[in-house]
Amino acid sequence: MDVVRRLHPLLLVPPALVVALALDQGGFDPSAWVWSGALAAWAGATAVVLSRDLRLSRAAWAWLAAASLVLAWVALSWLWSDRRVQTVLEVRRTAVYAAAVLALVALVRGGAERHLLRLTHLAITAVIAYALVRYLTETRIYDMFEAEFHRTVRAVLAITKQKELLKSNQVLAHSIKLRNPYVDPMHLIQVDMLRRKRAGEDTAAVNRALAATISGISAGLRNTG
């Protein structure tokens, strides 16, 4: 592509970051913040080193100052935070934003903003198109589980010659019906705790809540058959 060949190679870093983060689960996992922040900071620092004119506009200085202040404030909050592990993660995530601001301020000069916007727009469009194609063509895992559940129910009903599950054991059916409103919320809490733990929030509070959901669900299942 003619336009891309004429652009400085560093201008390809922001759109490449958009695509890479989208493919890496949207940058949700903290491990993605390390490489994305490092790449953005490298692009910004390299652009500054290679630039012959280091003068910045007032707006650019304002953006850099704002990003630096936000990063400093988040880092300073570690001193009074009661969830310091989570605060460290917030610092790492905010550092990605600060590095992105540095890269954009260093790269978007001398009319390069038009090219950067076009490339970033193409990257976002490509990500959306890829996600749409996957959504329309792939078999989603929830659909697989749901289909397997219905197949299992039909098989059980055929074997037991019943029209509904536990038709011949109304006491157990009633017990499960009473149990579910209490056990189902614990399943949702457990999913959220697992998500937070896998995201790096491995704190005593999260582990305690996770253990409580395991105990609660197992007790509910055991007491109701």
Q: Where are the domains of the chain?
A: 2-137, 139-168, 169-225
Residue 169, both tokens: 């054991």
- Radius of gyration of the chain, Cα coordinates, nearest whole angstrom: 26
Per-residue DSSP letter, 150: H
Which sign, positive or negative, has the C-alpha torsion 137, 142, 146, 147? positive
Which residue, 47, 88, 52, 48, is CA-closest to 71?
88
Query: pTM of the predicted model, to two decimals?
Result: 0.57
Distances (CA, A) of 86 to 74, 92, 111, 120, 204: 11, 10, 40, 31, 12
pLDDT tens for the chain, residues 1 to 225: 433 444 467 777 888 888 888 887 777 777 788 888 888 888 888 877 777 666 777 877 888 889 889 999 999 998 888 878 888 888 888 998 888 888 888 877 666 667 777 878 888 888 888 888 877 777 677 778 888 989 998 998 888 888 888 788 888 888 888 888 888 899 999 988 888 888 777 788 888 899 999 998 888 877 665
Classify residue 53 as exposed, middle or buried by CB count within 10 Å of its CB (0-12, 13-18, 19+): exposed
